[in-house]
Amino acid sequence: MNPSTPLPLVLILCTGNSCRSHLAEGILRAAAQGRFEVASAGSKPAGYVHPMAVAALGEIGIDIRSHTSKHMNDFLTRNVETVITVCGNADQACPVFPGQLNRHHWPFLDPAHAVGSEAERLQVFRQVRDEIQRVFTAYAAGRLDATRGKQ
């Protein structure tokens, strides 16, 4: 890989950019091994990252405490290679970004709507985290395998 060439950007979109997209961003960034850039944003950002998303990823050694909730329009001037939507509303609201080559829609349950005790709600975050981890680590592995073949 040429050090002067920017890394391809994978943008993960959700409506609120408070839970699912941050779970996916943290997991994919860890799995990407620095081979591509990962960011997340929302069509209607909540303005915060859900503390239970932070806790759920912290349990598996991924720290997203520095993440912020961003609007997808912040990326309209960036070269976005791949867009992955993780909820139906974001899929419908998603614009085409400059340089976009790929688009995937992988919807997940919104853990922010979980009800019950704090422990019960955290369990929902863990379940969604684990589903996202299965999908996004497989995606990263496929991308890494593909780039190895091109070297």
Is 94 catalytic? The answer is: yes
Question: Is 88 contained in some domain?
Answer: yes
Catalytic residue among 94, 122, 124, 132: 94
Active-site annotation holds for 19: no
In this structure, how many other beta carbons lie within 10 angstroms of the beta carbon of residue 79?
13
Q: Residue 116 belongs to what domain range? A: 9-140
Query: Which of the following is catalytic: 10, 11, 12, 14?
Result: 14
150 within some domain:
no
Task: State the DSSP string of 94-106.
Answer: --PPTT--EEEE-
- pTM summary value: 0.92
pLDDT tens-digit series, residues 74-103: 999 999 999 999 987 766 777 778 788 899
The answer to whether residue 41 sits within a structural domain is yes
Give domain status of residue 99, yes or no: yes
- 147 is a domain residue: no
Q: Is 87 a catalytic residue?
A: yes
Residue 4 lies in a domain: no
CA dihedral of residues 10, 92, 114, 11 (deg, nearest 10): 10
Question: What is the rounded average pLDDT of the residues 19-41?
Answer: 96
Selecting among 31, 84, 87, 132, the annotated active-site residue is 87
In a domain, residue 111? The reply is yes
CA dihedral 83, 86, 87, 89 (to 10 degrees): -10
Query: For residue 84, what is the domain's CATH number?
Result: 3.40.50.2300
Instruction: Give the confidence band of 147 by pLDDT, cuts at 50, 70, 90.
Output: confident
| Structural domain count, the chain | 1
